[in-house]
């Protein structure tokens, strides 16, 4: 059976004690390559986890990844990716909007006359970009609310 070891914690504890990977491997009675693989985040056997726990003088569960923490980190990363994508989409839309408004103004001025012929397309495009911005803000607020609720639990 394989266990997901908390690679960052194991590495941090080793470095706090000023131990090399070789020293930890010797203390735990395991191979250097095993320590290297675990610190890269690869799964470890039950025996390896017990040996590492004995070397650090802690319970085996202290070295295992907490599923709740792991799930929260996955959700946080997905949320960050979602927000980044929505912001990028909005900024692309806003840049297109600015270009379009300049183009529409040029068309209207080029046609001349007393009527601004591109008024309605400009108005509706403005409504569309504002809606896109509002949707981006709502999603970001919803994600922040969920994260703060999740953190409070």
Q: CATH number of the domain at 56, please.
A: 1.10.260.40
pLDDT in tens, 11-55: 999 999 999 999 999 999 999 999 999 999 888 888 999 999 999
Q: Which domain holds residue 81?
A: 67-152
The answer on 24 and 79 residing in a single domain is no
The answer on 128 and 81 residing in a single domain is yes
pLDDT in tens, 63-107: 887 777 777 788 889 999 999 999 999 999 999 999 999 999 998
**Closest Cα partner for 19 from 61, 65, 57, 49?**
57
pLDDT in tens, 114-145: 788 888 999 999 999 999 999 999 999 999 99
Residue 97 tokens read as 């909007």
Residue 107 tokens read as 């068309």
Is 59 in a helix, a strand, or coil? coil
The answer on 128 and 94 residing in a single domain is yes
The answer on 129 and 83 residing in a single domain is yes
């Amino acid at each position: 059976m394989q266990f997901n070891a908390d690679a960052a914690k194991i590495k941090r504890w080793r470095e706090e004690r000023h131990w090399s990977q070789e020293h930890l491997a010797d203390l735990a009675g395991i191979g250097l390559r095993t320590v290297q693989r675990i610190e890269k985040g690869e799964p470890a056997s039950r025996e390896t986890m017990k040996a590492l726990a004995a070397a650090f003088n802690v319970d085996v569960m202290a070295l295992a990844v907490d599923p709740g923490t792991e799930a929260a980190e996955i959700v946080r990363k997905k949320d960050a990716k979602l927000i980044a994508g929505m912001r990028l989409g909005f900024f692309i839309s806003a840049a297109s909007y600015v270009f379009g408004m300049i183009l529409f103004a040029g068309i209207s001025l080029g046609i001349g006359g007393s009527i601004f012929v591109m008024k309605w397309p400009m108005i509706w495009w403005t409504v569309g970009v504002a809606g896109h911005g509002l949707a981006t803000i709502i999603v970001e607020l919803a994600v922040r609310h969920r994260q703060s609720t999740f953190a409070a639990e």
